[in-house]
Amino acid sequence: MFERAVTAMVGRPDLTGDRTSLTLAEGMTGMMENVFLNVKNKSKTITAELEVPAGDGNGAILVQGGRFGGWSLYVKDGRPGYDYNFLGLKRYPVAATGPLPAGKVTLLFDFAYDGGGMGKGGTGTLFVNGKQVAQGRIEQTQGMIFSADETADVGIDLGTPVVEAIGSEKRSKFTGRIPKVTVEVREGSAKADAAVRDAQKEVARQTE
């Protein structure tokens, strides 16, 4: 019965089809799960091109779900972070200790899924301009659905908040600009994730 919630398992038509990437921008909000790239039970990378204001930036960059399950890439008091909210029961934050620089910044979050079935965990790594600034374990993920009525939003968190400290609605609006956010998914495997890590290291080397 539970597997019926996963389109790919039962062969229902899927609006995103075989797509493995989705490019978004500020102002794109209210996206229900059936029109958003399926990031569940997979590895994923979120790459956000930001324009950070002088002083402390704040607010949501990209979120999906809400208080009772979802995830959020955000900035709090100038420091970037990612928070996975498992059913409102447990939260797994991966947050930098230092602030983002002002101006144009590339913020990248990579989640390397453990694989081996639905709802497994993985490792989250946060990069700023190609340099790793945080890493942490996300022990559990939601394998079927985040919410029946919460949405995915760029630059704001509509509905209930994924991260209480960021809030929702007007309070959660990002104080800078978000020209582009790209979400990419891949099947969780050691080979695929090793290739991604090698590419990330190369980017970091070139920016040193």
In the structure encoding, which two tokens stand for residue 31, read together? 């996206």
Q: Hunting for tokens 């949501």 — which residue is that?
A: 60
Quickly state the pLDDT bin for 19 (edges 50, 70, 90). Answer: confident
Q: Which residues contact 11 (CB under 8 A, 6 or more apart)?
A: none
3-class DSSP state for residue 131? strand
* Partners of 131 in beta bridges: 128
Neighbours of 114 (CB within 10 A): 17
Mean pLDDT of the chain: 89
Q: What distance in Å separates the CA atoms of residue 132 and residue 192, rounded to the nearest whole number?
A: 19
Q: What distance in Å separates the CA atoms of residue 208 and residue 20, rounded to the nearest whole number?
A: 30
Burial of 196 (0-12, 13-18, 19+ CB in 10 A): middle
pLDDT score recorded for residue 204: 55
Q: Hunting for tokens 């374990």 — which residue is that?
A: 137
Distances (CA, A) of 77 to 134, 143, 153: 16, 31, 20
pLDDT score recorded for residue 58: 96
Q: What distance in Å separates the CA atoms of residue 88 and residue 156, rounded to the nearest whole number?
A: 19
Q: Rg for the chain (alpha carbons), in Å?
A: 16
pLDDT at 110 over 60: yes
187-200 confidence digits (pLDDT tens): 865 555 555 556 55
Percent of the chain predicted with pLDDT > 90: 75
Q: What distance in Å separates the CA atoms of residue 179 and residue 206, rounded to the nearest whole number?
A: 23
Backbone angles phi, psi at 57, to 5 degrees: -80, 150
In the structure encoding, which two tokens stand for residue 6, read together? 């996963």
The full set of domain ranges for the chain reads 19-207
Distances (CA, A) of 6 to 39, 139, 186: 12, 21, 17
Quickly state the pLDDT bin for 15 (edges 50, 70, 90). Answer: confident
pLDDT score recorded for residue 193: 54
pLDDT score recorded for residue 108: 98
CATH 2.60.120.200 is held by the domain 19-207: yes
